[in-house]
Amino acid sequence: MSDREQAENRLNRQFIYEKLPEPMQNKLSSLCVFESVTSTNGYVLKKGQWADNKFIACIANQQTEGRGRNGKEWVSPPDANIYLSLGKVFDATSMDKIRGLSLACGVAIARLLYSMGIKVGIKWPNDIWFKGKKLAGILVETRAKEDQLMIVVGVGLNVNMPSQHDEKIDQPWVDLKYALEATEMSNTALILDRNLWAAELLNELMACLLQYDLTGFNSFESDWTKYDILTSRNVTINTGAEELNAKVLGINKDCSLKVEINHHEKSFYAADITLKI
- pLDDT tens track for 23-75: 999 999 999 999 999 999 999 999 988 878 899 999 999 999 777 766 677 77
Pairing of strands 121-123, 81-91: unpaired
Whether residues 120 and 46 fall in one domain: yes
Overall domain count for the chain? 2
Whether residues 141 and 253 fall in one domain: no
CA 45/CA 177 separation, integer angstroms: 31
Could you report the per-residue pLDDT of 129-166, keeping only the tens digit for each?
999 999 999 999 999 888 899 999 999 999 998 776 55
| 96 or 197: which leads in pLDDT | 197
Whether residues 194 and 239 fall in one domain: no
Q: Are 126 and 137 in contact (CB under 8 A)?
A: yes
Q: Are 227 and 120 in contact (CB under 8 A)?
A: yes
Whether residues 50 and 149 fall in one domain: yes
Whether residues 88 and 115 fall in one domain: yes
Kindly write down the DSSP assignment for every residue of 183-240, as one continuous string. TT-S-HHHHT-HHHHHHHHHHHHHHHHHHHHHHGGGGTHHHHHHHB--TT-EEEEE-S
Whether residues 64 and 46 fall in one domain: yes
* pLDDT interval class at 261 (50, 70, 90): very high
0.75 exceeded by the pTM?
yes
Answer yes or no: is pLDDT of 1 > 70: no
Whether residues 38 and 109 fall in one domain: yes
Domain span at residue 37? 3-226
Boundary of a domain, candidates 226, 244, 265: 226
Could you report the per-residue pLDDT of 217-253, keeping only the tens digit for each?
999 999 999 999 999 999 999 999 999 999 999 999 9
Determine the pLDDT at residue 91: 86
Whether residues 40 and 164 fall in one domain: yes
Q: Are 128 and 227 in contact (CB under 8 A)?
A: no
| Lowest-pLDDT range of 9-18, 48-57, 267-276 | 48-57
Determine the pLDDT at residue 227: 98
Determine the pLDDT at residue 3: 45
CATH code for the domain in which residue 267 is found = 2.30.30.100
Whether residues 246 and 172 fall in one domain: no
- Percent of the chain at pLDDT > 90 equals 72
Whether residues 213 and 267 fall in one domain: no
Whether residues 166 and 63 fall in one domain: yes
CA 97/CA 142 separation, integer angstroms: 13
SS3 call for 130: strand
Answer yes or no: is pLDDT of 188 > 80: no
Q: What does pLDDT average to over the chain? A: 90
Boundary of a domain, candidates 226, 247, 262: 226
Whether residues 248 and 217 fall in one domain: no
